[in-house]
């Protein structure tokens, strides 16, 4: 499937995935090389656009990273939230490794 953007560019996910796989860099290699933006091949929101009549805009793709806002929260409460998020992250990592 090829997705066309408003600015005239096209995105072929299958071709991009093949190229990424053949490069043998991996996600860690991308991070180590200094990539600052999430690549579209890792953004799964485009699947919801397959049934739409209108073409998706670039903004609909690029602004879908979940963020937890801790601003304005007292420091002790922030620390607890960060602690629990780290625990959940570890649990998710453990669960994904044991289930696969």
- B/e letters for 6-37, b = 16+ CB within 10 Å, e = fewer, are eeeeebebeeeeeebeeeeeeeeeeeeeeeee
What's the pLDDT score for residue 55? 58
Name the band, by pLDDT with cuts 50, 70 and 90, for residue 19. Answer: confident
Residues 58 and 5: beta-carbon distance below 8 Å: yes
Distance (Å, whole) CA 26 – CA 20: 8
The model carries a pTM of 0.35
Domain parsing of the chain, residue ranges? 1-65, 67-100
Look up residue 74 and give its two tokens.
Answer: 């007292």
What's the pLDDT score for residue 8? 47
Distance (Å, whole) CA 61 – CA 9: 14
Q: pLDDT, tens digit, for every residue of 33-73?
A: 887 777 777 766 555 555 555 555 656 555 555 666 667 77
């Amino acid at each position: 499937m090829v997705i066309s953007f408003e600015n005239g560019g096209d995105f072929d996910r299958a071709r991009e995935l093949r190229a990424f796989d053949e490069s043998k860099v991996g996600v860690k290699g991308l991070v180590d090389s200094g990539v600052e933006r999430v690549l579209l091949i890792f953004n799964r929101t485009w699947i919801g656009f397959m049934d739409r009549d209108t073409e998706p805009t670039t903004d609909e793709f690029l602004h879908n990273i979940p963020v937890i806002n801790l601003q304005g929260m007292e420091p002790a409460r922030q620390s607890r939230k960060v602690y629990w998020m780290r625990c959940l992250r570890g649990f998710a990592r453990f669960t994904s490794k044991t289930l696969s």
